[in-house]
Amino acid sequence: MAVRFTDQAPRTLHYTQAYNDSNSDWEKLDPELDMKISEQTVEELAEIFRTPLTGTYNWDYQVQDDRIKKLYNLGKQLNWNADFDIDWKQEVRQLSEDEIAFVHPFHDYDEYLALSAQAQENFTKHMHTWTISQFLHGEQGALLVASQLISCAPTFNAKLYASSQAFDEARHVEVFNKYLDERAGLRYPVNNALKSLLDKILTDERWDLKFIGMQIVIEGLALSAFQAIKAITPDPSLSDLLGLVIRDESRHVTFGVNYLEEFIKTLTEEEKNERAMFAYEACLISRERLVPTDVFEYWGWNQDMARELFLKGNVFADFRKLLFTRVVPNLKRIGLLTPEARLKFEEMDILQYENMANDGDIDWADLSRPLDIKGSPEASSG
Ligand SMILES: [Fe+2]
Ligand SMILES: [Fe+2]
C-alpha cells in the first residue's frame, strides 16, 4: 500500500476509460486540453488535517425512546446497495435544444459558440462532472464529520444514530465515485470554497458547530442540489441513485434539526449568536461553492465574465432559491436566526424563506416508505 501524504488537495483532473468510451472519436480530448491531463498513478493520495476533537464515552447506555432512536431504526432498515439496487446500464436521453437552452448558462456565450460541436459537448460534460465531483467530495467530508460525531455526540442514541449516518455517507461516496468512474469518466478536484468549509467543520473542536455546519448547512444544501439535478438529468441511472441518496439525506437533516433544537435552547444568547454567525458564514461560502470556477480555468475562459453569466443563468437562479429554502427555515427552527444573523441573511436576500416548511416536524410516513429500487437486470435474473 503506497500512500503519499500531501498538505493540500490536488488540482488535477482525473480521467478514466469511460470518458473515452462515451465519445465517438478521439477529438474528445482536444489537443490543447490533452496536455493538462495528469499521469495517473497507483498511489493513494492522502491529505492530513489535525483536529482537537473532544470525545465522550457514554456509560449509562440510556436508550431514550425518542425520535433519534426511530431515525436510527429507519437507518438500519433502509439500506441499499449500489452494486445491485441501481440499473447502471440505462440509456442516457438526448436533451432537446430547448432543454439545453434552459439548463446551459453558456448556450449563447461567444467563447462557447466558438468551440467545435464536439468541444461544446465536452464542455457540457465538464460542467456536469464538476457538479457531481463536488457531490463526491462533499460526501467524503460528510463521512469524516459523521465519524467525528460518533465520538463527540454526548448521548447514547445520537452515537448510534451517527454510526448509521457514517455508513450512509460511505455508500454515498461509493455511489458517486462509481458514477464518475464508470459512466462519466472524469473527476474534478475539490472546489476551494467547499474545501475551506470542510476544513473549518472538521478542525473545530465544538461538536455542535460540526452538527450545524454539516447537518444543517452542507446537508440542507446537498439535499436541494440533489433534488434539482434529479429533476433535470437526462440520465435515468443518475436519477435513480440520487433518489436513494435523497432518502438518506432527508433523515440526516431531520436528525440535525431535532437534535440541535433541544441543545441550542441550553446556550446563552452570546453562544447562540456565535453559532448563528458561523451558520451565516457557512451559507456565504456555500453560495460561492456553486460557481464552477475550476471549469472556467480549465477551459481558459475569462473567469469574471463566465462567472457573471453563470450567476444570471436560469438554473443557478432556481437552484439558489431552492438551496436556501431548506436551510433558512431550519436555522429558524433550531433558534439560530438571532437579530444579528437576520440582518446578514437579509443582506444575502434569503431571509424571506424563514417561514417556509422546516425539517423539524417529521413526516414519518415519507421517511419510512419502502425504497424505490429498480435493480440491475443481472441482479434480478441471478
Ligand atoms: Fe451523504
Ligand atoms: Fe448526509
Within 10 angstroms of residue 211's Cβ, the number of other Cβ atoms is 26
Cβ proximity of 269 and 232 under 8 Å: no
**Cα–Cα distance, 258 to 333 (Å, whole number):** 9
In the chain, what are the helix, strand and coil shares in percent, each to the nearest 5?
Answer: 65, 5, 35
- CA angle 200/51/60 to nearest 5° reads 110
Measure 94 CA to ligand 2 centroid, in angstroms: 31
The per-residue pLDDT for 286 is: 86
**Cα–Cα distance, 322 to 315 (Å, whole number):** 10
Burial bucket for residue 65 (CB in 10 Å: 0-12, 13-18, 19+): exposed
Measure 252 CA to ligand 2 centroid, in angstroms: 5
Angle of helix 314-333 relative to helix 303-312, nearest 10 degrees? 70
The per-residue pLDDT for 163 is: 96
Measure 254 CA to ligand 2 centroid, in angstroms: 10
- The 3-state secondary structure of 230-270 reads HHHCCCHHHHHHHHHHHHHHHHHHHHHHHHHHHHHCCCCHH
Measure 275 CA to ligand 2 centroid, in angstroms: 20
The per-residue pLDDT for 108 is: 80
Measure 190 CA to ligand 2 centroid, in angstroms: 18
Task: Considering every ligand atom shown, identify the ligand nearest to the alpha carbon of residue 175 and give its number.
Answer: 1
Could you read off the pLDDT of 266-295 as tens digits, one per residue? 999 999 999 999 999 999 988 887 889 899
Measure 172 CA to ligand 1 centroid, in angstroms: 5
Within 10 angstroms of residue 16's Cβ, the number of other Cβ atoms is 16
> What are the residues whose beta carbons fall under 8 Å from the beta carbon of 220, sequence distance 6 or more?
253, 323, 326, 327, 330, 359
The per-residue pLDDT for 33 is: 45
Measure 309 CA to ligand 1 centroid, in angstroms: 30
Measure 362 CA to ligand 1 centroid, in angstroms: 19
Task: Considering every ligand atom shown, identify the ligand nearest to the alpha carbon of residue 172 and give its number.
Answer: 1
**Cα–Cα distance, 212 to 278 (Å, whole number):** 8
Angle of helix 236-264 relative to helix 156-178, nearest 10 degrees? 160
The per-residue pLDDT for 14 is: 80
Measure 248 CA to ligand 1 centroid, in angstroms: 7
Task: Considering every ligand atom shown, identify the ligand nearest to the alpha carbon of residue 251 and give its number.
Answer: 2
Closest CA to 201 of 127, 128, 122, 281: 281
Measure 43 CA to ligand 2 centroid, in angstroms: 28
Measure 96 CA to ligand 1 centroid, in angstroms: 31
**Cα–Cα distance, 301 to 114 (Å, whole number):** 12
pLDDT along the chain (382 residues), means of 10: 80 77 52 43 77 90 85 92 93 82 80 86 89 96 96 91 96 97 90 93 91 92 88 93 94 91 93 96 87 88 87 73 85 96 93 89 82 69 40
Measure 68 CA to ligand 2 centroid, in angstroms: 15
Measure 197 CA to ligand 1 centroid, in angstroms: 16
Measure 330 CA to ligand 2 centroid, in angstroms: 15
Measure 165 CA to ligand 1 centroid, in angstroms: 8
Domains, the chain, ranges and CATH? 3-381 (1.10.620.20)
Which triple of cell numbers denotes residue 9?
488537495
Measure 335 CA to ligand 1 centroid, in angstroms: 24
Nearest-10 Cα torsion for 36, 39, 41, 47? -30
Q: Which residue has the cell 424563506?
A: 353
Measure 220 CA to ligand 1 centroid, in angstroms: 11
Measure 169 CA to ligand 2 centroid, in angstroms: 6
Q: Which residue has the cell 441501481?
A: 86
